[in-house]
Structure 1
């Protein structure tokens, strides 16, 4: 089995996962034609592999990646069987991003379930390795923000998929992992004219993520203060959300690449969250897909 090949710039989109399925398929085909190389979708409940299969069926070359498969929601044997079936049908285009999610989210559904996340990840990977057929290490990446999970990713997967992390985190990650493993960060973006417009769209969205300890702790490790996190300071906002015109977004993607990223997936926020940002994807493509 060949390794999943991923480079260039992709999109990270909850709409492709949870939006209208017919429009998701139509949008996926258009994203491929625009030149985006991968489509990343989240996993917060529902039939994940059905969605992956629909996006693979709607495209011919695009990598479809989970960003991320929540390991508390799936059995390794089931995930491996789905991977085998989708790969047989569509070739080596399914990249299984795997993560431990966040204690407040997991425990909200089952109190006390979230514990020993690193051990849980290793157990899940063991299950993928022991399945028949297994999910090859070259077909999976881990959501790894901190050093222990990054070390696991380097040993047991193709690389890392950091979410909500600035280019400085990409730089530190590349230095920690060396030249081999892939570094595939997500970058949130807002096409707008002013800081006020960016703030109106992104502040509360960002505040919700910053309430999760994994993200808050990672940002403090990366050099931000607790006050930056608690207040959603301009410094933190600007580091995590690239806003402005197409060239401003391109500069941020270039910063990740200069820091060692192999691929960057952009998540577009708009004032109408939940709707497909297709106009924004079209506007950004000329700047990003040849970046």
Structure 2
């Protein structure tokens, strides 16, 4: 699997209307997006992967990410084998350890030793009856230790909510060969006010999660930046403006060492499929 170019990261493709999701996936493939990334915050994730694979012919479908606390490694390996047998090697298994507030809200104290838990999950994938090959899986990784684990045990890393500067740091830790596949959130809009109206509350929710907050603090932002969702932080994490502004941010990630950048488009109704925005971005890519 060679993963380059620009992909789409979309909760709508996972949790939206199934028929519209399939129809949209086919259009995104025709528009030239090279991968479709979907989250996993509960529910039958492999049903969604199956639907997207069936709706496309060439595009990679990736979990961004499969929550390891919500699945047994044996079930994951079995599902992976069935999907690749039917659709070929177009399924990239992105695996992540999620966040303590989300996991402990259901079962207090369950979230512990995230690095060891991830390594144990990978061990179980390796020893399953039909193992998931290292070359077909990536890790959600932000800090140095998880990035190093991604380089040793997987095809690479899928950082989320990061800046091009983080991409450069991640590349230096991963080395040259592993894939580096960052997510980049974008808002197609005409003004900073429009961007803030769409993105501020969305970003604030992520800043409440320690993994993201700590990574941004390591990246040079202050506690005040996070507490007030400063303009500096907002514009560093979310690329907003016209298509040219978004393409500049993609180019910054690529110059910093990204192999592939997956774009998450925010719109005012975050349940709606942002198909008009995807078309505009695709046209800019083609141009």
For this structure pair, what is the TM-score category when the shorter chain's length is used for normalisation? over 0.9
Alignment of structure 1 residues 205-244 onto 2, 5 Å: 205-244=202-241
1:255 aligns with 2:252: yes
Cα contact 1:167–1:259 (8 A) shared by 2:
yes
Q: State the alpha-carbon separation in 1 of the partners of residues 8 and 111 from structure 2.
A: 29
Q: State the alpha-carbon separation in 1 of the partners of residues 182 and 147 from structure 2.
A: 13
Change in 2 beyond 3 A, CA 1:186/1:148: same
* TM-score, structure 2 as length reference: 0.99
* Per-residue deviation, 1:287: 1.6
For structure 1, list consecutive stretches of 5 or more residues without a partner in the other structure.
Answer: none
* Per-residue deviation, 1:288: 2.7
* TM-score, structure 1 as length reference: 0.98
Give CA deviations for 1:31-75 in whole Å, capped at 9, x if unaligned.
000000000000000000010000000000000000000000000
Cα contact 1:9–1:289 (8 A) shared by 2:
no
Cα contact 1:36–1:289 (8 A) shared by 2:
no
Q: State the alpha-carbon separation in 1 of the partners of residues 173 and 127 from structure 2.
A: 28
Give CA deviations for 1:218-246 in whole Å, capped at 9, x if unaligned.
00111111111111100000000000000
Q: State the alpha-carbon separation in 2 of the partners of residues 5 and 182 from structure 1.
A: 9
Could you say which residue in structure 1 is the equivalent of 2:13? 16
Q: State the alpha-carbon separation in 1 of the partners of residues 38 and 127 from structure 2.
A: 26
1:158 aligns with 2:155: yes
For structure 2, list consecutive stretches of 5 or more residues without a partner in the other structure.
Answer: none
Alignment of structure 1 residues 1-291 onto 2, 5 Å: 4-288=1-285
Q: Could you list the runs of 4 or more consecutive aligned residues of structure 1 that deviate by over 3 angstroms after TM superposition? A: none
For these two proteins, the number of residue pairs brought into alignment is 287
Q: Give the CA RMSD over aligned residues.
A: 0.7
